[in-house]
Amino acid sequence: NFEAILMNWKPQKGSNIHNHGDSFGSVYVLSGDVKNVAYDCDLNKIGTFKQTEGDYIDVPKGVFHQLVNHTEDYSASLHFYAPPINGMKVFDDSEVHKAYIVKPNIGAWNPKDKDIVKAL
C-alpha cells in the first residue's frame, strides 16, 4: 500500500520543513533541479543535497527535510510514500518553533487549516 503525489515547484519556492510520520518517502525529480535540505530532530540543518532531473531522493521514516526549487525555472517531482502518510509533522515557515500534525487519513503535504492540529 502506498501513496503517490506529483508536485510542480514554482521558481524559488519550496516546502515547509516536515517529516513523513511513520512512512518511508522516495522522490523522483522529473524536471529541473531541487535542493533537499535535511534536518535533525532539533531542526539543526545537517545537509543540503542538490538533486537534478532523473535523481532519486530517499527520505527514511521520521527524518525532517525540506525540498526547495532554488532556480528561476519550474521543476517537477513525483513522490511515493509507503505506507500512505498518516500523522505527518509540518513546521510553520514564519515561526519554525510552531509545528502542526496532519490529521489521520489526510495524506501528504501542506494541509489546509481544518486538516491540522497544533503539535505539543
In a domain, 108, yes or no: no
Percentage of the chain surpassing pLDDT 90? 60
Q: What is the pTM of this model?
A: 0.82
CATH code for the domain of 59: 2.60.120.10
In a domain, 60, yes or no: yes
67: domain range? 3-84
pLDDT on residue 120: 43
In a domain, 95, yes or no: no
pLDDT tens readout for residues 8-21: 999 999 998 999 98
In a domain, 66, yes or no: yes
pLDDT on residue 89: 84
pLDDT tens readout for residues 27-64: 999 999 999 999 998 889 999 999 999 999 999 998 99
In a domain, 28, yes or no: yes
Of 58, 116, 57, 68, the residue nearest 92 (C-alpha): 116
- Phi-psi category of 30—alpha, beta or left, where left has phi over 0 and alpha has psi -120 to 50? alpha
